[in-house]
Amino acid sequence: MTNIDLAISTCPNDTFAFHAILENEIDLRGLSFNTRLLDIQQLNDGLFAGQFDVAKASFHAAALLTDQTVVLPSGSALGFGVGPLLLAARSGSNPADDSAAGRIVLCPGKHTTATMLFRIFYKDAIQSGNVTIRQTLFSDIMPELEKRTADYGVCIHEGRFTWQDAGLACVEDLGTRWEDETGSPLPLGGILAKRALGSDLIARLQSVLRESVQWGLDHPEQTLPTMRKHAQEFSDEVLMQHVKLYVNDWTVELGEVGQKALKGLSEKAKACGIIPQHSSPIEIAQ
């Protein structure tokens, strides 16, 4: 039995994709998983600290860890219409306007893809000092905007479905902007494995993960208890909306389209100085 330190997020798309692994619904091929469920920034931080063998990470973090990790072909969140929303506490305002000087923008973690997108598309507003980014736990962003303790927030996950109920305004869908500018699906996050595990073990991990994703797609209703356990504030309808949005053919296998999207993200990040020019491309395990 080979022990694997695994870390994933509490988001429904991850608990859906990993349900069959967590509940031993499939053949684990001689692997035993020590699993932790964490916030995405905790996952990113843990990867930078070398704490996990395999973990979900933002593709922003993946772009900075290319010398240490590879992306597994299965388990990624990538698609059209899946991007973060830039929300405002008050309607009619935009962080790109000069009148936004001194405004606060809440972002869900320094190395999240959501923060990367905001830095790419609002580079001028950040450099001019019009806005200041404050890193905030993703689940606290909409409540902070509701309390008017910040001006803007980059919203991810279930907030895409509930921001109107919170009385907030949508400035822009950052994912739609990405799609319009690149023609590619937006790569949000994927499953990273340490290169040090070796190609044979990484291939075994990929095989297990791909089967787990497919099991979830074949038995969606049976994954609900696991999703509910870690997202108790959301209804089953919202949980399944989330799965339909973030789990798709590219979650089963990234393929050439996924590789192109990852390359485009790295190039834009390099152009904005977010990742070093000498960084290697994000590599998808074979």
Residues forming the active site: 157
Domain boundary among 182, 197, 229: 182
Phi-psi region of 8 (alpha: psi -120 to 50; beta: other; left: phi over 0): beta
Last residue of a domain, one of 157, 182, 207: 182
What burial class does residue 96 get, using C-beta atoms within 10 Å of its C-beta: 0-12 exposed, 13-18 middle, 19+ buried? middle
The reply to whether 37 and 105 lie within a common domain is no
Residues 76 and 94 placed together within one structural domain of the fold: no
> Does the structure show a pLDDT above 70 at 99?
no
The number of domains in the chain is 2
Tell me: the pLDDT tens digits for 195-210?
A: 999 999 999 999 999 9
Is residue 50, in this structure, part of any structural domain at all? yes
112 and 151, same domain (yes or no)? yes
Residue 111 lies in a domain: yes
* pLDDT for residue 158 is more than 70: no
One domain, residues 101 and 23: no
205 and 168 in a common domain: no
In angstroms and rounded to an integer, the radius of gyration of the C-alpha atoms of the chain is 18
Q: Can you give the pLDDT at residue 128?
A: 87
285: in domain: no
Do 160 and 229 share a domain, yes or no?
Answer: no
- Domain of 227, CATH number, reads 3.40.190.10
For residue 95, the SS3 value is coil
- 146: which 2 tokens? 């509701």
Specify whether 161 is located in the same domain as 99: yes
The pLDDT, as a whole number, for residue 4 is 97
* Euclidean distance between CA atoms 266 and 116, whole angstroms: 10
| 207 domain-assigned | yes
What is the reported pLDDT for 218? 97
Round to whole Å and give the CA distance between 43 and 111: 10
Domain assignment present for residue 276? The answer is no
Q: Is the pLDDT of residue 100 over 70?
A: no
Tell whether 262 and 121 lie within a shared domain.
no
* pLDDT tens by residue, 129-157: 889 999 998 889 999 999 999 999 999 86
211: nearest Cα among 14, 21, 2, 6? 21
Domain coverage including residue 64: 2-80+186-271
* pLDDT computed for residue 167 by the predictor: 85
231-243 mean pLDDT? 84
pLDDT value, residue 59: 92
Residue that is last in its domain, among 153, 182, 211: 182
State the pLDDT at residue 232: 67
Q: Quick check: is 253 in a domain?
A: yes
Q: 88-92, 138-142, 175-179: which has the highest mean pLDDT?
A: 175-179
Segment 5-44, tens digit of pLDDT: 999 999 899 999 999 999 999 999 999 999 999 988 789 8
Q: Identify the CA nearest to 29 among candidates 249, 214, 212.
A: 212
Q: What is the pLDDT of residue 245?
A: 84
Tell me the three-class secondary structure of 32-64, residue by residue.
EEEEEEECHHHHHHHHHCCCCCEEEEEHHHHHH
More confident position, 100 or 56: 56
Task: Answer whether 114's CB lies under 8 Å from 154's CB.
Answer: yes
pLDDT at 53: 97
* Placement of tokens 């606290």 in the chain: 140
Bigger pLDDT: 165 vs 154: 154
Residue 280 in domain: no
* In a domain? residue 150: yes
